[in-house]
Chains A and B, each alone.
Chain A
Amino acid sequence: MKKASGLKLPADTAPLFRDRALAARMVAAVKEKASRLAASGPRRANFMEVCGTHTMAIAAAGLRRLLPPPVKMLSGPGCPVCVTSQGDIDRLIELALIDGVTVATFGDMLKVKGSKGLDLQAAREKGADVRVVYSPLDALEIARTEPSRKIVFIGVGFETTAPVIGGVLVRARAAALKNFFVAPLFKLVPPALEALLSAGDIEVDGFIMPGHVSAIIGPEPYRFVAEKYKVPCVIAGFEPLDILRGVDALLGQMLSGRPEVDTEYSRVVKAGGNPAALKLMAEVFAPADASWRAIGRIPGSGLSLSPAYRKFDAFAQFGVKEREAPEPKGCICGLVLTGKASPPDCRLFGKACTPSSAVGPCMVSSEGACAAWFKYGG
């Protein structure tokens, strides 16, 4: 691996966002709004944090025990590993077992089981060459230094990850690399929210929108949630105080009865998002249908490679076809991902399913709702 140059770390800003006195004032404000809401009728305040990083942050800060009724936090479909369908996991394992192929992946994908109970780690034990990398650039480096291997990077992630991998593909194309491929399993957040809301069976009174995805796409793509479905939205950061601020803003919108898309993460999220990243995505990718665990196929909710980049598509190049596969028996990851159940509602939770022997992806991923609940308690 190439040695990175001495990256200087920024001064520690975290304490600013964890100030106890400020937190106490914000909790008091949330309690006041929650009690006004409760007084105005038998109201619910189910808030879905769409993003897995929010799920972890909420659990790690112990926020659930701080939030007053009727506020209830629900996890959403924003953990990239969790929403990868069982059929797509099977395709990745099939890729890994092809002779001459090296699969490079972020570590979380290693232990998600496919429909035959096999995961990439088990594929490795069967002789597949599966390597964990910290950046897609590392995968590109492997392709450069090992020209006899065909390197497939697993492209799992949302709008946040796609531009990074897009950037790597631009480099691969410029270098005319013939042994570097991406397995495109990218997902897009707004179409998934549209699918959840249009199904009409979720009980969500407000969304905490993902901060990093929003940094790329900006607040505009969520507007339909507030306008068409009349559900309040707030874009929030990931520090405990950011999240309290987000909950406060959602309660404010419920009380006023005027749902909107409120950006409470303006230090990172700008109107219009990140134009450079959006331009790169438009060049490298093209919208495609994608299949989501438990939700199913959602039109336009994924990204495939654009015609100029199609030769880097691992599925196309190795002839690995799409397929459907059933969810693991007894696992309710699907319900957890759509805010219809909490992890302890699952009879496997903490018994047959723990992070070291996970049945479903929500327990495998470090961003999964079940892993968060197991690690930090409810």
Chain B
Amino acid sequence: MPGKNGLKVPAKISLAYGSGGRLTHELVSGLFARAFANKALAELADAAEIQAGRERLAFTTDGYVVSPLFFPGGDIGKLAVCGTVNDLAVKGARPLALSASFIIEEGFDGELLKKAVLSMKAAAAEAGVDIVTGDTKVVDKGKADGLFISTAGVGLIPAGRKLAFANLRSGDELIISGPLGDHGVAVMNARNNLGLSGLKSDCAPLNAMLEKALAAGAVRAMRDLTRGGLATSLNEAASAAGLSIELDEEKVPVSPVTANACALLGLDPLYSANEGRAMLFCPPSSSAKVLRALRSHRYGRGAVRAGRVLGRGGDVSLRTAVGGSRLLRMLEGEQLPRIC
């Protein structure tokens, strides 16, 4: 309920407020963005942009509470580095340094902690960034679920680079960097012991690939497709730009094993989380060059054009494989709690 100060909070914070979907947006815009109101925050981008003398910095933070801590294709450590690196990279920033804060439950296995830390080290080395500061807290048994990690990252935005959904123009093309849904489905499978084989998280640092894409041709905006999946990110783009976006279902890449798992579990890969996939918007004149650059990188082999920006509006529609058309909304409620 809106109070005197205009802050809006629900009576109780249900899990759905952390889903990355519509309710998360309500909480962020109703409480955090209003209480902390400032220009850098107002954009609600993956990373905030701050001016430091003549340089523009990107600054971001993220908490990782994934369950289970280790899953096919990744673990909480790799996730904590990749997620923050990717949030900087989609702002066009080159990561300069990361911080890492550990909240450890009393009695947590030291070997597992080491395994997570070595995984962070490897991911940071691959991304070409150092973890330069940190914090350690141990809490009573039962007060945390094994291990939580928070990372923050700061990056440098090269002069002249300005990536934002507000830049989108009617006619721009949408590129997706690879098959969707692998991370969310792999984690859900691991967490619930569903026993499906062949599923693997796409978790990866995307900064090198996206840097290549930016060097190849004009890009208006990018976003990594984490919680809420492509559908939620497209809705954020459409509403920020005030333009409608159309996605071609037929073009959306989904690996057969993830597609089958989704069909079996009643999940939609368009809403499933990714930790190594991004969407990019380009003017038609540069989309072929950007696509080629993405495909030349190991994390972008499966990149495709999958949609376009239409005229005025703000909603997202899906042209279905059989030629029908329907709305594609933001994630409503919780599809996959605690996947990152």
A residues sitting closer than 8 Å to B (CB atoms) are: 1-12, 14, 18, 20, 23-24, 27, 59-66, 125, 134, 240-241, 244, 354-356, 366, 374-377
**Residues on the B chain within 8 Å of A5, using CB:** 195
Task: Please tell me if the beta carbons of A377 and B198 are within 8 angstroms of each other in the complex.
Answer: no
Q: Once the chains are docked, how many angstroms separate the CA of A69 from the CA of B263? A: 31
Q: Once the chains are docked, how many angstroms separate the CA of A60 from the CA of B259? A: 15
Q: Could you give 21 example pairs across A and B, Cβ below 8 Å?
A: A1-B193, A2-B193, A4-B194, A4-B195, A7-B196, A7-B197, A20-B322, A23-B323, A27-B323, A61-B326, A62-B318, A62-B320, A65-B326, A125-B12, A134-B194, A355-B332, A355-B333, A356-B23, A356-B332, A356-B333, A375-B332
Cβ-Cβ contact count across A and B, 8 Å cutoff: 94
Task: Please tell me if the beta carbons of A241 and B327 are within 8 angstroms of each other in the complex.
Answer: no
Q: Once the chains are docked, how many angstroms separate the CA of A63 from the CA of B249? A: 14
Task: Please tell me if the beta carbons of B260 and A63 are within 8 angstroms of each other in the complex.
Answer: no
**Residues on the B chain within 8 Å of A10, using CB:** 260
**Could you tell me the distance in whole angstroms from the C-beta of B162 to the nearest C-beta in chain A?**
34
Q: Once the chains are docked, how many angstroms separate the CA of A352 from the CA of B236? A: 23
Task: Please tell me if the beta carbons of A65 and B325 are within 8 angstroms of each other in the complex.
Answer: yes
Task: Please tell me if the beta carbons of A62 and B324 are within 8 angstroms of each other in the complex.
Answer: yes
Task: Please tell me if the beta carbons of A9 and B327 are within 8 angstroms of each other in the complex.
Answer: no
**Residues on the A chain within 8 Å of B5, using CB:** none
Contact of A63 among B192, B324, B327 (CB under 8 A): B324
**Residues on the B chain within 8 Å of A356, using CB:** 16, 22-23, 332-333
**Residues on the B chain within 8 Å of A64, using CB:** 324
Q: Which of B244-259 contact A (CB under 8 A)?
A: 250, 256-257, 259
B residues sitting closer than 8 Å to A (CB atoms) are: 12, 16, 22-23, 192-198, 250, 256-257, 259-261, 263-264, 266, 318-327, 329, 332-333
Q: Once the chains are docked, how many angstroms separate the CA of A244 from the CA of B321? A: 13
Contact of B322 among A11, A12, A66 (CB under 8 A): A66
**Residues on the A chain within 8 Å of B198, using CB:** 9
**Could you tell me the distance in whole angstroms from the C-beta of A215 to the nearest C-beta in chain B?**
17
**Residues on the B chain within 8 Å of A2, using CB:** 193
> Please, which residue of chain B has its CB at the minimum distance from the CB of A58?
B324
Contact of A6 among B197, B256, B264 (CB under 8 A): B197
**Could you tell me the distance in whole angstroms from the C-beta of B154 to the nearest C-beta in chain A?**
35
Contact of B196 among A9, A24, A27 (CB under 8 A): A9
**Could you tell me the distance in whole angstroms from the C-beta of A130 to the nearest C-beta in chain B?**
14
**Residues on the A chain within 8 Å of B318, using CB:** 62
> Please, which residue of chain A has its CB at the minimum distance from the CB of B256?
A12
**Residues on the B chain within 8 Å of A20, using CB:** 250, 321-323
**Residues on the B chain within 8 Å of A12, using CB:** 256, 259-260
Contact of B259 among A8, A14, A66, A134 (CB under 8 A): A14
**Residues on the B chain within 8 Å of A62, using CB:** 318-320, 322, 324-326
**Residues on the A chain within 8 Å of B321, using CB:** 18, 20, 23, 61, 240
**Could you tell me the distance in whole angstroms from the C-beta of B267 to the nearest C-beta in chain A?**
11
> Please, which residue of chain A has its CB at the minimum distance from the CB of B255?
A12
